[in-house]
Structure 1
């Protein structure tokens, strides 16, 4: 964290920008209070880029609209029921929310929306003290009723009031604590950790969609591992991703120094490293990160002690893919994400057969065909799955995968590998065989695709000859 003086200078500069000062003057002229609040104020102290501008005001949603519409290029009131109005001013989106004091009733999945009457009252009902600071405008006075600056200096995540009360107001704040642990690199206060453990079960009253959103935000941070650990250690993961704590007691036969849980966190971190290395500047890849975290969740169910004390996890890839699909469906992830994660987990062991003996070109084609549009993610996941401390073994695996990627690139140039299709399409198959649309056309298509995979491009004439032979033999 930068010095307090530097942070105040940044906040002062932000308040002096045209869009902020214009808003401040407009609300003041209308007789309403306005303050920059939450994340922008926190990030100014942390020296982080301020991308989103959030404001809070004494004005009601209707009054906010009346003030903002003449200033805005566009506005949205989809959050009006919750007191939030969004607008685009000078090309930037801002959100302005009426002072709030809403809480959960402890039984339903939605908070009771209640508007407050003071800035201080709004701040003390917020989730954490580092998010409960505001810059009153246009005066540019810092308002920090709960000691947020001190907690920023000590890198501690604390609640404005008693943590147990805060999590009773909104249980999702427990997951936010995990996310901020990773996002900000903070440590939760002791009472926060205790309250998370005590009230973990109450997360069940929060909608699955909100849980999904918070979990996704956690996994998109630069280092999700600390937040994941906090979820597991406090028992929250038992509700959200019970497959994670289930891995703790299992031992990985390839990595005796770590259990499967620790191995999975290492794979997650290494996958993120590959993501940044291969796609610098790209948005966080949630699909890759989910696959990395969950790739070994099939191990507890497939654990077997073989003669001599050897531990095996045969078919944990297939079992894990099914478990991941079931869990992600329960968490309401979209079908594309579920399908992609399933395929990555299902295929994450395929490469290790490459190191046991040279693959034929047809085996390489199958690898590419089965991975489909997940091939690049499979490259990163498979490389990240190597966590051995044996440097020689790690180098051998890395060299082997380098070789596989080189062969894929060569075949891609020669054969249009990314669009692997038979030499004849469905219309041509029907013409050759003299049949109409039917199940037999599909069977013929699959036969030709298998030939294409095994032998590479055949050409139309050879494919026609082989198709007729196959048809006659039937």
Structure 2
């Protein structure tokens, strides 16, 4: 009898049926039964869109090879779960069209489900040869837990088998709006130190999805309460016992959480504080995982404070000299531990390294060229730094903080973001420099220190608005060359 690839209409949408028929039609004579498992069953029960189809079967490698022989597909083998062979079958004509086939564990579907992480993911729908079925195999009460909006482990060894599941538990709370069961909460607290055994890239994959939630601050606090956050970032432990000076109303760790909350507020609704720049901010943060990394930077921006904390003997004032530089070094280590890409690491570290610098740029006495030097260094990433600075000043409300400065920074930030694409960004491009070395050569200056100094002075004048075009730059170059000759500095 032909393989019938439908489960109950109450479980799977017609599109899933169609996709199953398409993918498994070459396997109609294959002797093994197939089971729809994992998130596809869960999401259909919750009336959520189903994007990924996961099948469990015996002889998964042979199934994948059979499909590869008869279809225009690519096979990617990976470990979706530790020690469980899984094969992603990807349609070469449409790479968004794929199906995952994993080796059934333990010799039966019930044994396989027993090895899965949470009850809501430990359900299966048979896709059988002898006709359609409306059966849901649910040995651990997953449907009941969905109804109760509860994340519950399938067994007490769930986290020792794979410690990453602790982060997945928090991530499912964020994505599904569920709560941890009491048993799951207790087990995470017991097993939290085991997270250090997990490769950094797997940790960041889960953290990224948590930070992408619009209310990530709630789930970061949950991770902290579970002792999971300091297990991932041991560096924050010292932050929790580090008092601040009178500029702050919160000590270092609660201040960092507040900065995260303000950052998230501006990310979720940029028009609330920066009405003229909402589209700019949204487009900027949508690229290169900036949203998740900006939130991580907010959480860790003061990680260097405990190691740099000092107390003035004469005044008793608490200081944190150099904490931005110290923090940048620590965050560099964290970024490497998480195995961030070079671009991601540079972005994250620059936000921590420059988080004090940006706060000084709002002062009226600061020259435009000083601001432009930082913007030229960071380019578009300056947008994120400005947002971080706004969150930092909003979270700093101690008795010695200045409400006037807070207002001044927010006003400057709004004006700067509004002008960024139209006025600032074009001037950051090397193609927009008002003069080049070849222009100075035509004026009799050879390559060397003198040329570099003159070009630097011209760029500063350009950044300050003292010159407007190429002609102004040539005129200034002539004056600078003349001055050097008079001072006998030119050889």
Q: TM-score range by the shorter chain?
A: 0.7 to 0.9
**CA distance in structure 2 between the aligned counterparts of 1:186 and 1:43, rounded to whole angstroms:** 13
Q: 1:406 to 1:363 in 2, by over 3 A?
A: farther
1:13-412 equivalent positions in 2, closer than 5 A: 13-14=13-14, 17-23=17-23, 26-27=26-27, 29-67=29-67, 69-70=69-70, 72-79=71-78, 82-88=85-91, 91=94, 92-101=96-105, 116-137=106-127, 138-162=132-156, 165-253=157-245, 257-276=249-268, 277=270, 278=278, 279-280=281-282, 282=286, 285-305=291-311, 310-385=317-392, 386-387=394-395, 397-406=409-418, 411-412=423-424
Q: Measure the CA separation in 2 of the matches of 1:371 and 1:286.
A: 18
SS in 2 for 1:267: helix
Aligned mates of 1:15, 1:347 — CA distance in 2: 50
Deviates more, 1:284-293 or 1:127-136: 284-293
SS state of the match for residue 51, structure 2? Answer: coil
Name the CA distance, whole Å, in 2 between partners of 1:259 and 1:10: 53
Deviation at 1:467, TM superposition (A): 4.6
Measure, in 2, the Cα distance between the counterparts of 1:389 and 1:149.
47
- Offset at residue 173 of structure 1 (A): 1.7
Residues 433 and 132 of structure 1: is their aligned pair in 2 closer, same or farther, counting only changes over 3 Å? farther
Distance 1:47 1:427, change over 3 A: farther
Distance 1:267 1:22 in 2: 49
Alignment RMSD (CA, Å): 3.4
Question: Residue by residue, what CA displacement relative to the aligned partner does 1:220-259 show, whole Å, maximum 9, x if unpaired?
Answer: 3333334333443344434421222332223444775543
**Cα distance change on mapping 1:257 and 1:136 into 2, 3 Å:** farther
**Residues 380-430 of structure 1: per-residue CA shift (max 9 Å, x gap):** 2222222357997665543342234456567439xx323266433234444
SS of the residue 1:78 aligns to: strand
Q: Contact between 1:27 and 1:34, CA under 8 Å: does it hold in 2?
A: no
Q: TM-score, normalised by structure 2?
A: 0.78
Q: Which runs of 5+ in 2 are unaligned?
A: 1-7, 271-277
Deviation of 1:263 after TM superposition, in Å, equals 2.8
CA shift at 1:89, angstroms? 8.7
SS at match of 1:79: strand
- Aligned partner of 1:4 in structure 2 is none
Alpha carbons of structure 1 residues 10 and 316: separation in structure 2 relative to 1, 3 Å: farther
SS at match of 1:35: strand
Once the two structures are TM-superposed, the CA of residue 160 in structure 1 deviates from its matched residue by 0.8
Q: What do residues 305-358 of structure 1 show as CA deviations (whole Å, max 9, x unaligned)? A: 456665443443232222212221232212221111222222223343355435
Cα pair 1:296 1:316 within 8 Å, conserved: yes
Q: Distance in 1 between matches of 2:423 and 2:435?
A: 20
Structural mapping, 1:424-443, within 5 Å = 424-436=435-447, 441-443=451-453
Who is 2:5 aligned against? Answer: none
Instruction: Assess, with a 3 A threshold, how the Cα gap between structure 1 residues 405 and 432 changes in structure 2: closer, same or farther.
Output: same
Higher relative contact order (CA closer than 8 Å, sequence separation 6+): 2
CA deviation map 1:414-448 (0-9, x unaligned): xx323266433234444544535x56655554444
Q: Could you tell me how far apart the structure 2 residues matched to 1:41 and 1:253 are?
A: 53
Report if the CA contact (8 A) 2:305-2:327 is conserved.
yes
Matched residue SS, 1:199:
helix
| Distance change (3 Å), C-alpha of 1:48 and 1:239 | same
Aligned partners of 2:307 and 2:483: how far apart in 1? 42
C-alpha spacing 1:360/1:206, structure 2 compared with 1 (3 Å): closer
Structure 1 partner of 2:274: none
